[in-house]
A and B are shown apart, each in its own frame.
Chain A
Amino acid sequence: MTTNLDERLSTASVIGAAGKMGSGITLLLAQEMARLSLLPENRGKTFRLNAVDLSPEGLAGLREYVHVQAQKAAEKGAVGLRALYAERQDLVENGEIIADFVHRVESVVWPSTDLAAAKGSRLVFEAIVEKIPVKVEVYKELKGICAPDAFFLTNTSSVPIGLLDGEAGLDGRILGYHFYNPPPVQKLVEIIRSPATRDDVAAAASELGKRLRKTLIPSKDVAGFIGNGHFIRDGLHGLGEAARLAKAHGWAKAVHMVNRVSQEWLLRPMGIFQLIDYVGIDVFKFIQDVMDRFLDEKLLNGTIDAMIARKVSGGQNPDGSQKPGFFGYEKGRIVSVYDLDAGVYVPIDPKGWTGEADAHLGPLPEGYRGWKALSGAPDRDAAIKAHFAALAKMDTRGAEIGRAYLRRSREIARGLVASGVAAKPEDVNGVLTSGFYHLYGPINEFCQ
């Protein structure tokens, strides 16, 4: 199927371009469009990416972000860029070529606070707030603004695509295209077709994914899809464990313990509460709400609601630094824990309460190597196996919580396959390893 992707990319838009996901998507597309503009067959053609967002401050931040990140990416990709510029005899040095490419990337992006800027667009990426009525309204408007054959790729991580299609009347021209955060770095894109999604939309999306060198994993159009289908339930398990431990140990210790176990005992890049902070407690709540509405399963949680009620919402500042959530942070490191009982952040104190909590968990399995050390290790798989073999035999509180966590994660993943959200176990494992940077998939043989 010819997708006319280049043609569609000559007039594209990102809606919600100043957000965390939107800015990353804008950067990725602008880079691809700048690349296209250099190809001999595109000489004389213009490439325009409308970056639409309600926030003028956000768009100012987007310009800065695109500038800095395009520069870094061009420096890193200089080997390939030189080939792209082979015909340009006037640009000789890496410095000259990089500067020209960054200028092109920046020139492609046309920021606007007005949705009407998307006029005539043939390819539209949407990355606005995860609220169904807002999304539906925006799509209804876009339908009138964009080209009549426009394709819509939504970055929703939870809202059923079929619902958006039906409510906004898009006639199958919409597909779920769920990037992971940050989009320029994370390899994974979840692809969600609704039963109505047209083949040409899916084909264009797939070609684009290949060009952006993404790992594409299909998910059934069920709220939460694979990624959040696992993450939200996994998070709820952590919240449940913490609530249980809090009864005997108090909230701060409980959060600290569960976070540590879910990171270190499970060999994950982050503990569960740090991850929720990173995603944003508010975003976690949006996703929960959507999933709770569409699925026959209790997916709400009192702790999350209590945190939101106290305006403790995590997420990142415009400069990328982490906002306080379950934890307080300094330079990306956890320095305190929010005590839900007292409503204050309690500093980490290895000689005091934190040490007591650690003592309660007991030691890590012998020869423990963390996620970072294992990620690049040549003996990675064997070491992971040995870690869980040791964990299976340990009689400590940490090991016990860890094993329960591992089993629950597996149960969630199997559920996603059983319900058809994931076509096969490899897809769930693929989402967790490529989108969440886990070293192993949740469907595994560990600690059976």
Chain B
Amino acid sequence: MKAFAKPVYLVCGDSTVFLGTGRKEFHPKKPRPGLEHYIAEAGKGAVSQAADPSVVDEGVVGNFMAARFNHQGHLGAMLALVDPSFAYKPSIRVEGACASGALAVVTAVKSVLSGQADVVLAIGVEVQNTVKAIYGADILAGAGHYAAERKNGHAFFFPAKFSDRAGEYKKRFGTEKTWAAMGRWYEQAVRNARRNPKAQEYHNTTEDLFAAHQGMPPNPRSFCEHINVLDCSKVSDGGAAVLAVSAEGLKKTGRKPSEAVELVGLGHAVADLTARPDDLTALDTTRRAVERALGMAGITVKDVGVFEVHDCFTITGILACEAAGLAGHGEGADYVLSGSTRRDGPTPMNAAGGLIGYGHPTGASGVRMAVDLLRQLTGTAGDCQATVSSGRPYGLMVSMGGDDRTVVSCVFRRAG
């Protein structure tokens, strides 16, 4: 990735409650808010932090599968739900499986870089509780290579993909330590989420989360061979939004530089969707994207003080530690077991709960991660705030689509 022609910032971020099982207000048989609600709520939440809605030049909506979950396409044209004055402004919808939200941020950034816009509203949204998980699995399987993989794939297509990864990792690096690290990741995710009133696991009251995970061995008859349901991010509805702005745009929003982050590194990589990963125990595309993002920022992972990684499954959190360069191959499990990734650890990850704790409305997650890093780096994360050391002022984000096929990695630093 070439260096940016000019600085780009993110500011005015917001995310909604991520709704689904676990939230007290969630009832599968009662009516729930739809796409329109989340687009409007997230968008308003972001825009209301700016001086005036009129500063927004364009919109981008990141979404994965509304066409199937909600029978709704054409989400770009929902921008005016955020503010009536947005009617007739340019807006598009972008898609890249579970990285759709991150692609919305990337697209917004590129608009700013092109000089065509100074303030672009990036929104991520997904409403998945419209169908039961077993049918949602069909829809999400679209993030894999449908023609070649679906027929022989598992009922729970993606959980099984990552179960295979967990199985291979256990085989090569030790079953016990891997399983324990998966349990610790789950525990960490839910503990963090309990500090976040908007998180899906906010109401979780399980006393010993680690024991709960360890006491539920994988059951291949009803689910997957190497993971249990606690290893998975849940089915969620939600939205998130943030403004991507130029220096000029930042002024227009009326926010101070100290309330914004600068995007100093970006890595966006796609692998061949029709090919299988070379090594199930490594996230190669993630590693490349992270290397690019760090390279562009001119830093190493040692300079990063806070992380948002794509823990769609606990094993992915472990593998992300390795792909980010924090742990060697096969040592990600040890890294998690050491407590390093906890909110009070040296490299806090997913301090607001991440995909497992906060929830994973697929198209919203990438934007939500950027928003959470914005909060962490500007010291506005409230109860979820981790200590970001002044010697390591960077935040690193990894958003992944499919089985490590589309990856967006961003490096942020507080702007002022």
Contacts and interface: CB of A to CB of B under 8 A. Distances in A.
A78 B134 contact: yes
Nearest to A98: B134
A94 B138 contact: yes
B29 interface: no
Contact of A79 (B141, B215, B223): B223
Contacts of A378: 211, 215
A79 B211 contact: no
A76 interface: yes
B4 interface: no
Contacts of B30: none
B221 interface: yes
Nearest to A97: B155
B221 A94 contact: no
A335 interface: no
B156 interface: yes
Contact of B134 (A75, A86, A89, A92): A75
B222 interface: yes
B214 to A, nearest CB: 10
A79 B132 CA distance: 15
A81 interface: yes
B150 interface: yes
Contact of A92 (B132, B150, B154, B223): B150
Interface of B: 132, 134-135, 137-138, 141, 150-152, 154-156, 211, 215, 220-223
Given A79-B156, A81-B155, A82-B154, A94 B223 contact: no
Nearest to B153: A82
B164 to A, nearest CB: 15
A8 to B, nearest CB: 27
B156 A95 contact: no
- Interface-centre pick from A76, A80, A92 (highest chain B CB count, 10 A): A92
A93 interface: yes
Given A89-B151, A94-B155, A378-B211, A80 B221 contact: yes
A80 B155 CA distance: 8
Contacts of B221: 79-80
Contacts of A77: 222
Contacts of A82: 154-155
29 contacts: A75-B132, A75-B134, A76-B222, A78-B134, A78-B155, A79-B154, A79-B156, A79-B220, A79-B221, A79-B222, A79-B223, A80-B221, A81-B155, A82-B154, A82-B155, A86-B152, A89-B151, A92-B151, A93-B138, A93-B141, A93-B150, A94-B135, A94-B137, A94-B138, A94-B155, A95-B135, A95-B138, A378-B211, A378-B215
Instruction: Give the interface SS of chain B, mostly helix, strand, loop or mixed.
Output: loop
Nearest to B160: A79
A378 B151 CA distance: 38
B69 to A, nearest CB: 13
A93 B141 CA distance: 9
Contacts of A86: 152
A82 B156 CA distance: 10
Contacts of B215: 378
B10 to A, nearest CB: 38
Contacts of A80: 221
Contacts of B141: 93
B229 to A, nearest CB: 13
Interface string A47-82: 000000000000000000000000000011111111
Contacts of B155: 78-79, 81-82, 94
A94 B132 CA distance: 11
Interface string A94-109: 1100100000000000
Contacts of A81: 155
Nearest to A88: B151
A68 to B, nearest CB: 14
Nearest to A93: B138
Nearest to B212: A378
A86 to B, nearest CB: 8
A79 B155 CA distance: 5
Given A76-B222, A78-B155, A79-B154, 6 more contacts: A75-B132, A79-B156, A79-B223, A92-B150, A93-B138, A93-B150
A82 B138 CA distance: 12
Contacts of B151: 89, 92
Contacts of A95: 135, 138
B398 to A, nearest CB: 29
B88 to A, nearest CB: 39
B235 to A, nearest CB: 14
B134 A94 contact: yes
A373 to B, nearest CB: 12
B68 to A, nearest CB: 10
A82 B151 CA distance: 9
A360 B80 CA distance: 65
A80 B154 CA distance: 10
Q: Which 6 A-B pairs have the closest CB atoms?
A: A78-B155, A93-B138, A79-B155, A75-B134, A92-B151, A94-B138
A147 B222 CA distance: 39
A98 B138 CA distance: 12
B328 to A, nearest CB: 35
Nearest to A81: B155
Contacts of A78: 134, 155
Contacts of B135: 94-95
A410 to B, nearest CB: 31
A143 to B, nearest CB: 41
Contacts of A92: 150-151
A76 B222 CA distance: 7
Contacts of B222: 76-77, 79
Interface string A298-327: 000000000000000000000000000000
Contacts of B152: 86
Contacts of A79: 154-156, 220-223
Contacts of B211: 378
Contacts of A75: 132, 134
A89 B220 CA distance: 23
A287 B261 CA distance: 76
Contacts of A76: 222
Nearest to B219: A79
- Interface-centre pick from A77, A89, A93 (highest chain B CB count, 10 A): A93
A93 B149 CA distance: 11
- Interface-centre pick from A77, A80, A86, A95 (highest chain B CB count, 10 A): A95
A266 to B, nearest CB: 26
A376 to B, nearest CB: 9
A140 B137 CA distance: 52
A325 B141 CA distance: 50
A93 B155 CA distance: 8
A86 B152 CA distance: 7
A80 B223 CA distance: 10
Interface in A219-261: none
A94 B150 CA distance: 10
A92 B223 CA distance: 18
